[in-house]
Amino acid sequence: MIPISRIVHALEPSATLAMAAKAKELKGSGKKVYDLSVGEPDFITPQHIRDAAVVAMNAGHTKYTLASGIPELKNAIAARYNADYGADHGADHGAVEYGAGHVVVANGAKHALHNAFFATLDPGDEVIIPAPYWVSYAELVKLSGAVPVIVPTEENTGFKMTAAQFRAAITPKTKMLLLCSPSNPTGTMYSGEELGALADIVLEKDLFVVADEIYGKLVYPGNTFVSFPTLRPGLMDRTIVINGVSKTYAMTGWRIGWTLAPLHLSKKMGELQSQETSNPCSISQYAALTALTGDQGCVSEMLAEFTRRRDFVSERIKSIDGLSCPEMAGAFYAFFNVRKYLGRKLGGVQIDTSEQFCLELLTRKCVATVMGSSFGCEGYVRASFATDMDTLKEAFDKIEEFLKS
């Protein structure tokens, strides 16, 4: 038997994709499944973006590109960042201005994260990750030989790591802080002040930050997103921003994400990518270019629909006995507390863990969710509301029936 390497042997498969696969299996057996497992907008990619891909294909943009992406797209990524968060955004936000050289376009934000970790971490380096965290973070850090240091947070602080918790987790081996705001899985978002307190420690302790800002455009009315490098002078040299088109423009299948990073690091990440995967799909890059430079009305339309769903899901969770979740400020997930239902029987079956909870809910009521344990937070369940209202309504009716069984 061909042996599996130690590092890959230790890899956990993605729990969200595993739940989605189980849901598909049930669907395949003819059952109606309410799938709240996967973080993927249900909308089809907007028409003008799809059209741009067809035009690109017919114009012959079907060949290798620069490994780090076509210059037009890199320029557009930098320009959009600068326009949204850069110099014109008031006194606090004056320092940051990116150019095309700061950008590496990757095969999705997940790949951008891999580039970021692989290019900066050495074996034994510690990366601080507040929990609950997105399922892939710890595994991607481990793949680079570094050590994830998980800092548990609480529902009553919106699952946000405080400056004191951050400080307490730092050791001489700490190299990096990994932040995701708005957060997958909790939907909560750090305020500028909260991020500023973390940023001060980053500067004081000479650390680096990976700021996953993939949900930065999916922020609900009344909340303000602040991009990490804009918080303090000097942070641009210490931060790798992760972003992409998957969530904002409903383009999960096109596989375009990117890093914004200091020039010397971007150059190295481009070289890494040139050896590992070459360029991301040429046609997808042209589609992403249109997404970023075209009419942004599609983003507001999708956000309006997500807001309606967020309000509905939030109300339903509050109305069900024993469930709770913090207010969702962005992204499209509810991370709800099911502790009251653990350690007892539901429908005659003993449920002790969030994993058993989710498996029983899927088997008995055909509602697919993801267990909190896979996000490093037992006692909770994540439901994605990137699905239509009818599915959400029926799914929450089923969840309520399940809890009463």
114 binds ligand PLP (CB under 6 A): no
**What pairing do the DSSP bridges indicate for beta strands 333-337 and 257-260?**
unpaired
Rounded CA gap, 381 and 70, in Å?
40
Residue labelled with tokens 């509810």: 334
Per-residue mark of binding to ligand PLP, 225-264 (x: CB under 6 A)? -------------------x-x-----x----x-------
Residue nearest ligand PLP, CB atom distance: 108
187 binds ligand PLP (CB under 6 A): no
DSSP string for residues in 55-71? HHHHTT--S---TT--H
CB of 255 to ligand PLP, least distance (A): 7
β-sheet bridge partners, residue 46: none
132 binds ligand PLP (CB under 6 A): no
39 binds ligand PLP (CB under 6 A): yes
Per-residue HEC secondary structure of 221-240 comes to CCCCCCCHHHCCCCHHHCEE
Rounded CA gap, 181 and 362, in Å?
29
Contact residue for ligand PLP among 110, 238, 310, 316 (CB under 6 A): 110
- Closer by beta carbon to ligand PLP, 75 or else 384: 384
- Closer by beta carbon to ligand PLP, 279 or else 351: 279
Contact residue for ligand PLP among 212, 213, 305, 355 (CB under 6 A): 212
Q: Is the peptide bond before 262 cis (omega within 30 degrees of 0)?
A: no
Contact residue for ligand PLP among 20, 56, 121, 180 (CB under 6 A): 180
- Closer by beta carbon to ligand PLP, 365 or else 373: 373
217 binds ligand PLP (CB under 6 A): no
Longest dimension (CA), the chain: 62
108 binds ligand PLP (CB under 6 A): yes
Output the CA angle 216-217-218, nearest 5 degrees. Answer: 95
Residue labelled with tokens 């003993």: 350
Rounded CA gap, 65 and 135, in Å?
31
374 binds ligand PLP (CB under 6 A): no
Contact set with ligand PLP (CB under 6 A): 39, 108-110, 134, 180, 184, 212, 214, 244, 246, 252, 257
